[in-house]
Structure 1
Amino acid sequence: MSDAYVALEGGSVVEARCRAPGTSHGELVFTTAYTGYEESLTDPSYEEQVLTFSYPLIGNYGVRTERFEDDEVHPSAVVARELTDDVADWLADEGVPAVDRLDTRDLVGQIREGGAMKCGVSAGPDASPAKAKDALADCPGMSDHADIGAQVSVEAAETYRPEASGTADDLDVALVDCGAKGSIRSSLLDRGATVHVLPYDVPAGEVADLDPDVLFVSNGPGDPANFGATQSLVEEFAGEIPLAGICLGQQIVARALGGSTEKMDFGHRGVNQPVLDLNTDRVVMTTQNHGYTVADPGPELDVTQVNVNDDTAEGLESDDLGVITRQYHPEANPGPHDSLDFFDDVLALADDRRTPVAAD
């Protein structure tokens, strides 16, 4: 007899084995990454989602806290073909329901054909199909999470200084935390920048007092339309302070500068997404985790990189405004490091702001 159930939006209920007890709901999505489960499970971009791993065995190299992107697990539940005891125990300790021994190939196929869908999860001794269906009935859509930024952002400003000097040891980066991965901060610190992590709804006056050399909008979960405060911040400083963004950050910057965004059918989540640079004709492999994309960059931004598989915008830039954004995760973790030079480009924008223009 099964002790776990996953109720799907289409009406079916899938039986499974409980690996961490609890009842939850969320948008059912999948990642194709073979490795990096620790990083994925602690990525704030998975907030309010039920994460399905397409790779059949999750946990074969244990759980190491130094790999975490945040100090907590963010998916509302976890689904896999097989979870090791290490990962199952970790999720149980975190209070995150987890199930395995179900056909994840079929689940991934359903998501690819029908798009990301709501689901309910019931796992444990008292689990039942009815409880899973009740959880599903209470599940809001991703666009309905108006306060999702507050769930993943810092509550007050935090400042991090590099341990060693680097290429940008005199530069200050204001990192607007919409659900930032720790490796974004680390990538900037490794290059010698001081990083001020700010709440997603930080008042413009605090940013003005800080007078950063670049305003950097992070990744994060959900619909970019629900980050109106961050969008207003970008609108306030566009053209005055160089702007950078990753993932959700790209979408917010585009919306602030007259562009638009849309929900994708099932998004990009994995570590092998090919991206073409339109200026160099170079293709890089990238790590991605997003369910929304820039539909129209607007009049101020140029599309400089596109996804090889579906032509969605992967890079936006404006020389006039000093803007550079990426839809994918240049810091990877997990994934390839083909695009780490993005952070050098961001800090070059910041350095240009600090360098006086020589008189003729």
Structure 2
Amino acid sequence: MSDAYLALEDGRVIEARGRVPGRTRGELVFTTAYTGYEESLTDPSYEEQVLTFSYPLIGNYGVREERFESSHVHPRAAIAREFTDEVVEWLASESVPAIDHLDTREVVTSVRDQGAMKCGIAVGDGVTPEDAKAELAQCKGMSEHVDIGAQVSTPESQFFPGDDGGTDATVALIDCGAKGSITESLVTRGADVHLLPYDATVEDVEATDADVLFVSNGPGDPENFVQAQALVEHFAGDLPIAGICLGQQVVANALGGSTEKMTFGHRGVNQPVRDLRSGKVVMTTQNHGYTVADPGDLEVTQVNVNDDTAEGLENEELNVITRQYHPEANPGPHDSLDFFDDVLAMADAETKVALAD
């Protein structure tokens, strides 16, 4: 064990137990998820953030690579009331600083009351509060990384053939930081998936002969994903369009709407969402710090029960459907898995129209 200090933007410095040494900085956020720590830590949407777990014990069912959402850990550091040794070994293998034995309830309450804040972390033998403050000082002077997509997107296109017995649809998935389970959810339904870089061009999409343009989740401000927005603007009305999380925000910005940063965002596996047409409420997994403020040309079809923010957008005429939450349900719940069926049904309907013409 080693010394550890967490310096917060509100002026406090919290002493903790160091589990993985290192010094770093970032935006401090929290998740209320009590399972799915492997999925959270490998979710590209946490890029450049410091992730605090509100659930007190993280690691009680081990670490299994098949649960990972990407190839590596994305948060710059991890904080918990207590980490198991197995999780610590995993984080250490990726040189991700980790601290525990602090009051995470106080940290979460501070973020909830004051909003997501910058922080600095120093972990190691002999580190001091001043070391953590020095990290925080560097963080305060940094603006949000406008090209964050380059850190999380595939560098070149990849192809994933659909399983036999499903749809024959082809999906152009724009990788703004896509969770692996999004691709898996489409492939298991028979769709061929072309995973394209976040800065893919119109020609790149056309080369896939796609039936659907799909914009993935990802980190940071959706306004930074200008090329993905340009793709939506170009193909709207000609190609069915879907989006998840940041993808919903990108689609809204492209179709006359606007987005804004939330106070502390939605991060957890128990966010209640109400469908405005049926009145049905489902529980969802979420991880985002921005939301759609103005839906533009889209209709709000689902809202968050807690704060009425937009959770689902649609435009039947343009064949657009998006969700703010993560219907791929990793780590769960499974209430909204039918979203992928709706997307692919939209693609199949469009194909039938084309054949009839």
Which range, TM-score by smaller chain? over 0.9
1:72 CA displacement: 0.2
What TM-score comes out, normalization by structure 1 length?
0.97
Q: Secondary structure at the match of 1:73?
A: coil
Partner of 1:319: 316
Q: CA RMSD in A?
A: 1.5
Partner of 2:165: 166
Checking the alignment, whether the CA contact within 8 Å between 1:6 and 1:13 is kept in structure 2 is: yes
Partner of 1:272: 270
After superposition, give the CA deviation of every residue in 1:205-224 in whole Å (9 maximum; x if it has no partner). 11122220000000000110
For 2:195 and 2:274, the matched residues in 1 are separated by 31
What TM-score comes out, normalization by structure 2 length?
0.97
CA gap of 1:55–1:359, structure 2 versus 1, over 3 A, is closer
Q: Secondary structure at the match of 2:110?
A: helix
Partner of 1:81: 81
Checking the alignment, whether the CA contact within 8 Å between 1:143 and 1:226 is kept in structure 2 is: no
For 2:141 and 2:244, the matched residues in 1 are separated by 23
Partner of 1:263: 261
1:358 CA displacement: 8.5
* One-letter identity of the residue aligned with 1:325: T
Checking the alignment, whether the CA contact within 8 Å between 2:28 and 2:116 is kept in structure 1 is: yes
Equivalent position to 1:305, from 296, 302, 307: 302
* 2:277 maps to 1:252: no
1:152 CA displacement: 0.2
Q: 5+ unaligned residues in a row in structure 1: which ranges?
A: none
For 1:141 and 1:173, the matched residues in 2 are separated by 40
1:146 CA displacement: 0.6
* 2:341 maps to 1:344: yes
After superposition, give the CA deviation of every residue in 1:18-47 in whole Å (9 maximum; x if it has no partner). 111100111000000011000000000000
For 2:320 and 2:348, the matched residues in 1 are separated by 13
Checking the alignment, whether the CA contact within 8 Å between 1:143 and 1:222 is kept in structure 2 is: no
Q: Secondary structure at the match of 1:355?
A: helix
When the two structures are aligned, how many residues end up with a matched partner? 357
Checking the alignment, whether the CA contact within 8 Å between 1:27 and 1:141 is kept in structure 2 is: no
* One-letter identity of the residue aligned with 1:218: S
Checking the alignment, whether the CA contact within 8 Å between 1:143 and 1:223 is kept in structure 2 is: no
* One-letter identity of the residue aligned with 1:216: F
For 2:32 and 2:122, the matched residues in 1 are separated by 24
Partner of 1:186: 184
Partner of 2:26: 26
Partner of 2:290: 292
* One-letter identity of the residue aligned with 2:35: T
Checking the alignment, whether the CA contact within 8 Å between 1:30 and 1:269 is kept in structure 2 is: yes
After superposition, give the CA deviation of every residue in 1:152-191 in whole Å (9 maximum; x if it has no partner). 00000000012x31331x2110000000000000000010
* One-letter identity of the residue aligned with 1:7: A
Q: Percent identity?
A: 70
Q: Secondary structure at the match of 1:356?
A: helix
Partner of 2:52: 52
Q: 5+ unaligned residues in a row in structure 2: which ranges?
A: none
